[in-house]
Chain A
């Protein structure tokens, strides 16, 4: 079922901790690419209603295990991948992914899933043409999230891991582990590192520069050859 042949589109993934500024940067990249006349599509790592319902039930009845947690997210991703991401790539779009499979590798890895198993599980998904990692020290990321008084949900705070009864403390410890998982992936998946401590404009310049140097934008125009 996996498309073996190449597709005309390009897949650009953005990874990083909560609070690293991914959405802000992706929006600006999208704005820029659209302004260049490129066909561009933006998709986020969001759960479908179906999965939200299962997550709610699983949490209430304490049903989750690392394996089912991982598989449920993979199910949801497969649906989004085959209905959205892959058709867009085949249709010649530049697809910007706000989080991609590396997010699952990190989250499931924290829960004890074997990296080889995860890699195989998500083997149906193409590796991105570029994966940007918005690199921010853990304490700054945590600080941003807490200052924004963001509502932490149960799984985002890693409460299922039983690290702490206090949701803020659990989140802090969980993010630390997610961060460690990301760091292990930097070289393996050739993340393009973006220093997320710099100001928004500088980061955006750096992103645009890298994209322009690695993609021929003229191929993605509305009347492009794709």
Chain B
């Protein structure tokens, strides 16, 4: 069950032998409840005695600060942003994920290459270019995609932040000058891209239009199954 391989060629100089940990990815649109569930899973796993390491977007030591800065300025082209996020992703993969998996920990990724790809695809980036860009990424043991209907998403976003966010509304795309309208169109397009990625990468789709408890219970049951295989393997090493 251990992710001992990448989609294509692994990055140079990276030791991918004996990755005894487990890589679990939680994907889903903004306000789908990803972070809540990542945190709940972390607590639960730690209580069960597993070491947990989290990763997410913009958290790399290398370019995290610059990326935050760039996002505020919104002066960079989509291509530049795309490469910036890729740098951030691989920095975390090579410096956080791989060491965690070497040590046998459970790595929980709050978003992964799929969010990055979906965002770029909406902005017209060539699929083949993105595929090559992320071909060095680790294949996860499971990708849970939290699926929420648009109406719920709108309500949650507004409820959580009291306002719409520039990027989450895809304002850089010029879909509409009306933020609400732009938000709807952008999230719809993102959803379409996620679903086309699902066809290719086969996510585990989780119905996230339920209570936090119900969703968490569902996730735990699925993770439990992964852990069974994981423990067997860990003991045999």
Contact = CB atoms under 8 A, between A and B. Distances in A.
Given A63-B91, A117-B9, A71 B86 contact: yes
A222 B34 CA distance: 56
Nearest to B123: A1
Interface residues of A, number: 33
B13 A63 contact: no
Interface in A183-200: none
A68 B62 contact: yes
Contacts of B123: 1
Interface string B89-126: 01100110000000000000000000000000001111
A203 B63 CA distance: 42
A57 B62 contact: yes
A176 interface: no
A82 B79 contact: yes
Contact of A75 (B9, B83, B94, B125): B83
A2 B126 CA distance: 9
A61 B61 contact: yes
Nearest to A51: B66
B13 A65 contact: yes
Q: Which of B65, B77, B135 has the most CB of A within 10 A?
A: B77
Contacts of A66: 11-13
Interface string A19-62: 00000000000000000000000000000001101100110010
Contact of B124 (A1, A71, A82, A114): A1
Interface residues of B, number: 36
A71 B76 CA distance: 15
Given A68-B91, A71-B83, A54 B69 contact: no
Contacts of B136: 67, 117
A79 interface: yes
A interface majority secondary structure = helix
Interface in B33-90: 61-63, 65-66, 69-70, 76-80, 82-84, 86-87, 90
A216 interface: no
A57 to B, nearest CB: 7
B221 to A, nearest CB: 36
A50 B132 contact: no
Given A50-B69, A67-B136, A78 B79 contact: yes
Contacts of B135: 117
B121 to A, nearest CB: 11
Nearest to B136: A67
B155 to A, nearest CB: 33
A44 B79 CA distance: 20
A82 B132 CA distance: 20
A163 interface: no
B70 A50 contact: yes
Contacts of B80: 75, 78-79, 82
A67 B12 contact: yes
A121 interface: yes
A214 interface: no
Nearest to B131: A120
A74 interface: yes
Contacts of B132: 117, 120-121
A167 interface: no
Nearest to A113: B12
A7 to B, nearest CB: 17
Interface string B170-203: 0000000000000000000000000000000000
Nearest to B14: A65
B9 A50 contact: no
A71 B63 CA distance: 11
Interface in A139-175: none
Contacts of A91: none
Closest 10 CB pairs of A and B: A112-B12, A75-B83, A120-B132, A71-B87, A82-B77, A79-B80, A67-B11, A78-B80, A66-B12, A78-B79
17 contacts: A57-B61, A65-B13, A65-B14, A66-B13, A67-B11, A67-B136, A68-B91, A71-B86, A71-B87, A72-B63, A75-B83, A78-B77, A79-B77, A81-B79, A82-B79, A114-B12, A121-B132
Interface of A: 1-2, 50-51, 53-54, 57-58, 61, 63-68, 71-72, 74-75, 78-79, 81-83, 111-114, 117, 120-121, 123-124
